[in-house]
């Protein structure tokens, strides 16, 4: 009996220690970033452009570009991921060849390194689609879409986050009770009417969860946009989908590796990292708050 208690206590201590180490790492990382960057965040830093080789000035173009990138990525990625998940759960037969091919493709996409998505975006979106559009629209005499821009970067990022959205929405749809589907069919509803009126409303929180996860990953990724749209420095904000843009993650990478005076930019690196985290958390909290309101409204009328 005593040996059993010692064994249980040891397992409990080891698991608690592992959990505490994770908490400790988060506290150390966040504390280091906050202490290093908080004092440098001012209104001027948030609302002005970089100056003097990025050793002075602010990061507003990078904040604007990151926000725009996440929004455009979500506009394309979340609907396509949701529609794909609906097909896989409601229409495709799991033993069919088509289902297996799509499932294999989703699993493969989830395991591809981010830099490969960047190279794919450069070859497919920029060189193939963009150059094709320039040939059709301008006869090949003008280079507008056949160069890196925010649209191709957003589409590449949407492709990167697609497996996250699909898996999350699939889980949410499968969690809808079968009785609700059967009741809908018993009342004479068609398959599409059941999906639109029963399944999607009951899985909307899962769809938002997929969106939150996609935003979290998309806002922090740098590799996919290296070749498809991010710029080292721009004195202006993007005003059309064919413009390049600055991004917070890429801005941190540039300052830490390409700056002529890394020590001078260190406070800016900390402050930019903190702003990137705050922006990501703000987008996540907005989606979480919307999900909470939808759950509350649903519970009120159920």
* pLDDT above 90 (res 24): yes
Query: Which whole number is the average pLDDT over 78-94?
Result: 91
Contact 225, 153 (CB under 8 A): yes
Look at residue 167 and give its three-state secondary structure. Answer: helix
Per residue in 125-148, pLDDT (tens digit) is 999 999 999 999 988 788 889 999
Q: What percent of the chain has pLDDT over 90?
A: 32
Look at residue 288 and give its three-state secondary structure. Answer: helix
pLDDT score, position 1? 62
Residue 91 makes CB contacts below 8 A (sequence gap 6+) with 191
Per residue in 195-228, pLDDT (tens digit) is 998 888 888 877 887 787 888 778 778 888 988 9
pLDDT score, position 158? 92
pLDDT score, position 217? 78
Q: Which residue has the tokens 């040891």?
A: 10
**Neighbouring C-beta atoms of residue 43, cutoff 10 Å:** 8
pLDDT score, position 56? 78
pLDDT score, position 234? 83
* pLDDT above 70 (res 301): no
Per residue in 148-171, pLDDT (tens digit) is 999 999 999 999 999 988 988 898
């Amino acid at each position: 009996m005593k040996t059993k208690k010692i064994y249980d206590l040891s397992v409990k201590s080891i698991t608690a220690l592992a959990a505490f180490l994770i908490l400790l790492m988060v506290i150390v990382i966040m504390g280091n970033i906050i202490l290093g960057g908080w004092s440098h965040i001012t209104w001027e830093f948030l609302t002005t452009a970089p100056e003097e080789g990025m050793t002075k000035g602010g990061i507003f173009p990078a904040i604007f570009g990151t926000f725009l990138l996440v929004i455009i990525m979500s506009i394309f990625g979340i609907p396509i991921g949701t529609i794909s998940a609906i097909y896989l759960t409601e229409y495709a037969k799991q033993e069919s060849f088509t289902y297996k091919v799509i499932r294999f493709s989703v699993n493969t996409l989830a395991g591809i390194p981010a830099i490969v998505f960047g190279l794919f975006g450069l070859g497919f979106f920029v060189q193939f689609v963009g150059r094709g559009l320039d040939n059709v629209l301008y006869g090949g005499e003008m280079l507008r879409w056949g160069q890196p821009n925010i649209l191709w970067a957003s589409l590449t990022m949407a492709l990167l986050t697609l497996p996250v959205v699909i898996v999350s929405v699939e889980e949410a749809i499968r969690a809808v009770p079968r009785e609700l589907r059967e009741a809908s069919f018993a009342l004479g509803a068609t398959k599409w009417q059941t999906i639109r009126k029963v399944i999607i409303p009951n899985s909307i929180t899962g769809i938002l969860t997929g969106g939150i996860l996609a935003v979290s990953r998309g806002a922090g990724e740098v590799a996919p946009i290296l070749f498809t749209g991010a710029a080292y420095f721009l004195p202006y904000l993007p005003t059309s989908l064919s413009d390049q843009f600055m991004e917070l993650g890429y801005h941190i990478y540039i300052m830490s590796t390409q700056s002529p005076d890394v020590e001078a930019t260190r406070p800016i690196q900390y402050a930019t990292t903190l702003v990137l985290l705050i922006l990501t958390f703000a987008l996540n909290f907005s989606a979480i708050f919307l999900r909470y309101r939808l759950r509350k409204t649903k519970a009120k009328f159920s």
